[in-house]
Structure 1
């Protein structure tokens, strides 16, 4: 059966939305839960003496390292099997990783399974949206992309609400509960993937191995996006622990800030797209860098509750919201080289994943060696965003 597009029958349109639901479920499992559920779990893991604070943060970084490996491996996997098969396998892997993490056999055991969950997330992030979008009518691809990336925010919000409830029953039960949620979403997505990897028309007149040109603005964009990854790491890994232990407010209070982060992430992709439609992708990116810079700097300079809430929402919004902005800017810069856009986006995504993983490991080391100095980490994140904004402004001036 041909996979339908929006301008076909109601039945076909329903099948497209099954695909969008599958894509949202994949991003929810692979990123929203597999990565972000660890943040509200971190204080509980330390409190239950599963692992000491000096090593527990490295387990969060393990997922980001796996994400890089998964992003790099996704294309290879897709060349040896249908995208739908790979996507199903990755969602199953994420579910199995949740089950394995319910049993802290050893640090190495936990590290390996957190790394494998990162691999599933990286592969799902790279493959899910393109697999679905290729079968959606061009006039609705922006909206469909936003819906798919919103799955990340839904996962973050879910982790902030479900995790505290599950923790009342125990840490092992929490991991198993997340496994059940992941399994249910895997079942929901199972038959939603297209029966073909892409319509034949998607590749008409497109060179098989197009190489992206590298104008200065594009190279600058790669640098900015990678630096943006560094800016996001302190909130992604340490926000809940900062509130719970750093400020002494407890796990439940930390989870509430994580819910705010998740609510921001739900709305972020749609709001970022709307901003780009109104102002253009270049100006929208500068606004995004500036707002993130301010938001990440807030925990470094103040413990004011209201400001920390604003910080959580803004950084949450741009965690997935920066993705459509950079993707749109890549396509804009390569408007006359459409066949090169996919390769350029792959380069941008890889750079983001590399800096994100390095920042996670580096900040985990600094956190341990500094005796738990949270403000240092937020200061580094803000500095990275300041450099990203500076690079973008210089690139804009040079292009005039």
Structure 2
């Protein structure tokens, strides 16, 4: 078994670099599409099902990447996998702009998911060793990793892409991907540096005891509900707002609020994560996401959308933090990477179904709002199951 390396002199700078990796692979790689989707759908004459399919392709890649990470961690350390995923994701985002054909878009959405999963699955294991002897700082660091990375990406995209697409026209969706890709390439060096400087978690040996998966079923099931439900909101929120004749500035406002609340959410949840080793934090997070998903339909005005963005943003990126914290509190360090990868596989499989099914339901009913309500119901079911998880 390898021994963990020493904590770096400036763990906050290392955490910032790892967060930039999450910003690129999870924020830009997965959620920028929700803002660019309305322009692509209008310019390319896609149905909701076709638009949803691209995020399903992304989720299929995510499954492959999560499974690959789980297997690779038995032979390789997480730092190299994180770096590879970050570098290829940045290139893939630029390549998305090249051709409008559905097969081309599907290919690069798939590859973005595949390599994004390499980074996302290993980021938590790298960050979890930065303050291994300080549970409160450790919980805060993990929450910041997922919250600030994804939230900052949504703020950047929300503030720029809707006004740009409105001013330049639907055909400018290619330039949106160029901008996102170039920003990703610019942020990659600090992320790559952080991967080299992060403490190395003990490697899980091939002969190590298996994970106690049977005793973690409620946490797995809750996280599956998260994967199935949350992605509907982030894929189709802008499309729903367009159905309601929202202006580009209103879309930008809602997304900036959403991203800002995601960035601040670690401060709201750090105490919860520090106190609980059960499934209660995940159940609380999923309940908030469910409420935020339903509000745009139940209260379809700008104030309702603002409240929805605040609630959803305050909760959504805390689901990965919840399962990372659960793994850290209940499992030995050499099992953290494998456990987080397995959670990511469960999440990715569930996430695959959500976008296409939500798009098809929106085509069937004539409104994507129906899909937002269905997603809310699934998230509430996941919260109920997660609440049953006991500490190991």
Instruction: Please report the TM-score for the alignment, with normalisation by the length of structure 1.
Output: 0.84
Helix, strand or coil for the counterpart of 1:86?
A: helix
- For 1:213, the equivalent position in structure 2 comes to 212
- Structure 1: 5+ residue runs without aligned partners? 6-11
Larger Rg: 1
- How far the C-alpha of 1:142 sits from its partner, in A, is 2.5
Partner of 1:99: 94
**C-alpha contact 1:166 1:177 (8 A) present in aligned 2:** no
Q: Does 1:291 align with 2:288?
A: yes
Match in the other structure for 1:377? 371
CA distance in 2, matches of 1:21, 1:331: 20
Rounded Cα–Cα distance in structure 2 between residues aligned with 1:207 and 1:104: 43
Change (3 A) 1:207 1:359: same
Change in 2 beyond 3 A, CA 1:213/1:65: same
- Does 2:159 match 1:174? no
- Partner Cα separation in structure 2 for residue 392 and residue 18 of structure 1: 33
How far apart, CA to CA, are the structure 2 residues paired with 1:57 and 1:146? Answer: 29
Partner of residue 108 from structure 1, selected from 98, 103, 107: 103
Q: Is the 8 A contact 1:95 1:183 kept in 2?
A: yes
SS in 2 for 1:13: coil
Question: For 1:1-400, what aligned pairs fall within 5 Å after superposition?
Answer: 4-5=6-7, 12-14=8-10, 16-49=11-44, 51-78=46-73, 83-134=78-129, 136-139=131-134, 140-149=137-146, 150-167=148-165, 168-169=167-168, 170-194=172-196, 198=200, 202=202, 208-214=207-213, 218-243=216-241, 245-277=242-274, 281-332=278-329, 334=330, 342-371=337-366, 373-393=367-387, 395=388
The two structures, once aligned, show a CA RMSD in angstroms of 2.9
1:4, distance to aligned residue in structure 2 (A) = 4.5
Distance in 2, matches of 1:209 and 1:328, equals: 21
Residues in 2 aligned to 1:179 and 1:341: alpha-carbon distance in whole angstroms: 31
**Displacement of 1:135:** 5.1
TM-score by length of 2: 0.86
Give CA deviations for 1:81-121 in whole Å, capped at 9, x if unaligned: 55444333322222222222212341101110111111122
Q: What is the total number of aligned residue pairs between the two structures?
A: 381
